[in-house]
Every structure is written in structure tokens, then in C-alpha cells.
Amino acid sequence: FTALENVLLPTRISGRNEKESLEKAYSLFEDLNIAHRLHHKPNEMSGGEAQRTAVARALINSPKIIFADEPTGNLDSKNADDLHQLFFDLRDKYNQTFVIVTHNTHLADTTDRKLVMKDGQIIY
């Protein structure tokens, strides 16, 4: 699938209006700075662009909570920092909650709330 087709897949599964879904997808691609990649396939995108496409797909149906497991684990530090900031910007713009599981202490230290787990137990 192209990036646009991939992002629209959840809207089609949920039966959402196609015109509204397209408008939302275009807006997300603009917000994520990947509008120039709408018609590209994953092998034609960088790791950061592919990750941003995944973020758009997660946001397309406007869930109240986004769960992200090591979302920047395979990105270089510049793209990881950009994606971290993007999470905060999207949180504010779309009034959504992001629950992020990460080993990145820098990211964890910049969040609104941090829980630390050790051996399967929340320690603080």
C-alpha cells in the first residue's frame, strides 16, 4: 500500500465517511511533515517517514488514547527527538493522550507523567 492507502485502512474498516477521512488524512500528513510522501510505498521512505506514517494511521480515527511501544527505537537521535516533539504537539492539537513505553530516559523525563517498571512491577 502507499502511505495514504495505509493510513486510510482503519477508516475503511470502521466504515467512516471517505471524503472526511481523506481530509483528515491530508491534514495529518501536513501536520507530520510527510505530505510529499502520500503516494510512496514503505520501501521508498526513510525510517522516520515510515514511522510518521504509522503515527498518522494511529491518529486517523481520532482515538482518545494512543499506545506506542518503543516508537523511536529504530530511529536515529535527530528523528527520534523530532518524533518526541511531534507527540507533544499532536497531544496539544488533537487533545489526545499518548501512553509511551520506552527505554529512552530523555523522552521519559520530558513527559507529563512517568511510571517506572522493574521486574513487572511499577516502582514509582
pLDDT at position 121, please?
95
- How far apart, in whole angstroms, are the C-alpha atoms of residue 11 and residue 34? 19
What 8-state DSSP symbol labels residue 36? G
3-state helix, strand, coil split of the chain in percent (to 5) is 55, 10, 35
Crossing angle (nearest 10°) for helices 18-31 and 77-94: 130
Would strands 117-118 and 121-122 be described as parallel, antiparallel, or unpaired? antiparallel
pLDDT at position 65, please?
94
Contact 98, 91 (CB under 8 A): yes
Q: What is the CATH number of domain 3-122?
A: 3.40.50.300
Contact 68, 100 (CB under 8 A): yes
pLDDT at position 105, please?
87
pLDDT at position 24, please?
95
Q: Whose CA is closest to 59, among 35, 91, 33?
A: 91
Contact 71, 100 (CB under 8 A): yes
pTM of the model: 0.82
Q: Whose CA is closest to 31, among 102, 110, 92, 108?
A: 92
Each residue's pLDDT expressed in tens, for the chain with a length of 124 residues: 999 999 999 999 999 999 999 999 999 999 999 999 999 999 999 988 998 899 999 999 999 999 999 888 877 888 888 888 888 998 898 888 999 999 888 888 989 999 999 999 999 8
Query: What residue type is assigned to position 39 of the chain?
Result: H
